[in-house]
Amino acid sequence: MTEEISNLSTRQCQPCEGGTPPLEGDRVAGLLGELPGWELRGAAISKEFDFKNYYQTISFVNAVAWIANSQGHHPDLEVSYRRCRVSYVTHAIGGLSENVFICAAKVEALFGW
């Protein structure tokens, strides 16, 4: 885990309101570069996680839901038998905020254990 991910994963999401400009360009590229396997997809970032079985997949989904609830920042989840795609966007600003990267780093740390 890089220092940037470690720092992001220990931070807490801050409420984000409309009128706040989304992150762009070099800032997005820099933060995204610290999250292995995460990719920019439109106005969101996402990553697909693979598991050995359905039980592991749903355990992961439940852990991601706990993170989302504790941070007040909720991802879109696409769940199948042995796979889950996690996608984050800050809907209030129609793009990427630091909250997106904080939550992605928390999910990354979770998966790394």
Spell out the domains of the chain, with CATH numbers in brackets: 3-12+20-112 (3.30.1360.20)
DSSP output for 43-70: TEEEEEEE-SSHHHHHHHHHHHHHHHHH
What is the pTM (predicted TM-score) of this model? 0.88
* DSSP 3-state of 5: helix
* CA-wise closest residue to 32 among 109, 96, 111: 96
Angle at CA of residue 96, ends 33 and 70, nearest 5°: 95
Q: Count of CB atoms within 10 A of residue 70's CB?
A: 12
Q: What is the pLDDT along the chain (113 residues), one digit of tens a residue?
A: 445 555 888 888 887 777 789 999 999 999 999 999 999 999 999 999 999 999 999 999 999 999 999 998 999 999 999 999 999 999 889 899 999 999 999 999 987 65
